[in-house]
Amino acid sequence: MKIDLTGKTALVTGSTAGIGLAIAKGLAGSGASVIVNGRKQATVDKAIAEVKAAVSGADVRGVAADVSTAAGCDALAAAVADVDILINNAGIFEPKDFFDIPDADWTRMFETNVLSGVRLSRALMPGMLKRNWGRIVFISSESAINIPKEMIHYGFTKTAQLAVSRGLAELTSGTAVTVNSVLPGPTLSDGVSDFLGAMATQAGGSAEAMADSFVKEHRGSSLIQRFASVEEVANMVVYVASKEASATNGAALRVEGGILRGIA
Ligand code: NAD
């Protein structure tokens, strides 16, 4: 199988770092015209340069917009117009004791992780249905199913994404548009590297040693017993965004190293 996305335009939210940047590189490498997004123009420009450096001849541009707000989503949707592939990747995570999470944090997490994808799908999916081709992918998490007790508000948003994704898939019946979600497990993204670095500093060890022990200690059922790379997650996303994935619709696809023990 050779994935060829020539002629397709893809928007990847939150793609100036981490999993999103790897997805942008993967899609560009498969021939898609890619739009990267982040909150600041400087980081967007840097991401464009990184995609170009990784993929020679990449067709990539960027839009700076904060997808956690209605105004940011409106501006982004207006700037990109007709996209064929929407990857709702932007997301935030923050471990916090349930009893210390104020309403404002619940709202911020919901707006960033869920409403961003809702707003952009509402703006961009009608065009896909009209053109009778499109791909929407929500980057959810294994935490959608294994709700982490150290960040229940995050788990809640990741489960909500599965509901939105499956619901939108129902609206594609009989068309060549698909809507799916991808569930990464612990993945060595920039955000997670920072988080591990902070934990290592607190514990007085190295970030590498912390990465090594984290999955074994906190996600013991992992079959791969390590973090996934951002590229391993991006590979699944590029596949499900491809023309070849035309019979995969309404699915929740796992790239979590086997942490989730249930078969279905
Ligand atoms: P990251 O922190 O490394 O990168 C997140 C990116 O999103 C950055 O480019 C950041 O600038 C951007 N971003 C954040 N808020 C934004 C906003 N309001 N508007 C525009 N851009 C914004 O994160 P990551 O680890 O790559 O995570 C990406 C997605 O994958 C998230 O939805 C996350 O929940 C999910 N995920 C990550 C892991 C993991 O272990 N890394 C596991 C499961 C799911």
Q: Answer for the pair 263, 28: CB distance below 8 angstroms, yes or no.
A: no
Q: How many Cα atoms are found within 13 Å in the side-chain-facing hemisphere of 133? A: 14
Query: Which pLDDT belongs to residue 104?
Result: 98
- Beta carbons of 181 and 252 less than 8 angstroms apart: yes
Closest CA to 141 of 108, 165, 170, 169: 165
Residue 208, pLDDT score: 83
> Mutual orientation of helices 41-54 and 18-29 as an angle, nearest 10°?
40
Ligand 1 atom having least distance to the Cα of 66:
19
pLDDT of residue 195: 84
Average pLDDT over residues 68-88: 97
Check pLDDT > 80 for residue 214: yes
Q: Which of 139, 144, 148, 140 is nearest to 219 (CA)?
A: 148
Model confidence at 264: pLDDT above 80? no
Other Cβ atoms less than 10 A from the Cβ of 43: the count is: 17
Residue 203: is its pLDDT beyond 90?
A: no
Q: What is the pLDDT of residue 207?
A: 84
Q: Is 155 in the pocket of ligand 1 (CB under 6 A)?
A: no
Pocket test for ligand 1, best of 94, 189, 260 (most atoms within 8 A of CB): 189
Q: In which residue are the tokens 């809702």 written?
A: 118
249 closest CA partner among 177, 191, 192: 177
222 CB within 6 A, ligand 1? no
Instruction: Judge if the beta carbon of residue 112 lies within 6 A of ligand 1.
Output: yes
Residue closest to 25 by CA, chosen among 234, 229, 207 = 234
Pocket test for ligand 1, best of 88, 92, 119 (most atoms within 8 A of CB): 92
Name the residue with higher pLDDT: 88 or 209.
Answer: 88
Q: 239 catalytic, yes or no?
A: no
Dig out the tokens for 248 from the structure: 């995969």
